[in-house]
């Protein structure tokens, strides 16, 4: 616990928060960029995007379909990491006098 007994000043919490922020930032940046690939490529590389790869379906469609597993994987990664954070929270709860 922090010297003044509050959670916000305790070492565990500060570390927890730093770790969590870093995780959220990395994940958000990665998956947002993966998603924005689609409209950005439409603007900057329209020719390439229209290259067909499966019948009439193009690279654009491939990137579009990719968003589905990406979304699901993002959810699963977050879910698993959150379980770990839940453990830390339980620790903090035990050491402090709070609800």
Binding residues for other proteins, rule: CB under 8 A, are 6-8, 13, 16-17, 20, 24, 27-28, 31-32, 35-36, 38-40, 42-43, 46, 49-50, 54-58, 60-61, 64, 67-68, 70-72, 74-76, 78-79, 82, 86, 89, 92-93, 96-99
Instruction: Quote the least distance from Cβ 11 to other proteins, whole Å.
Output: 14
Q: CA 34 to CA 28: how far, in whole Å?
A: 10
Closest C-alpha among 26, 41, 29, 34 to residue 68 = 34
Torsion sign (Cα): 80, 82, 85, 86: negative
Instruction: Quote the least distance from Cβ 19 to other proteins, whole Å.
Output: 11
């Amino acid at each position: 616990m922090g010297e003044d007994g509050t959670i916000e000043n305790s070492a565990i919490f500060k570390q927890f928060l730093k770790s969590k922020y870093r995780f959220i930032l990395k994940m958000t940046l990665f998956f947002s960029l993966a998603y924005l690939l689609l409209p950005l490529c439409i603007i900057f590389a329209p020719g390439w995007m229209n290259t067909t790869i499966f019948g009439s379906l193009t690279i654009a469609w491939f990137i579009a379909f990719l968003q589905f597993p990406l979304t699901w994987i993002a959810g699963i990664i977050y879910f698993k990491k959150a379980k770990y954070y839940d453990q830390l929270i339980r620790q903090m709860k035990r050491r402090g006098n709070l609800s």
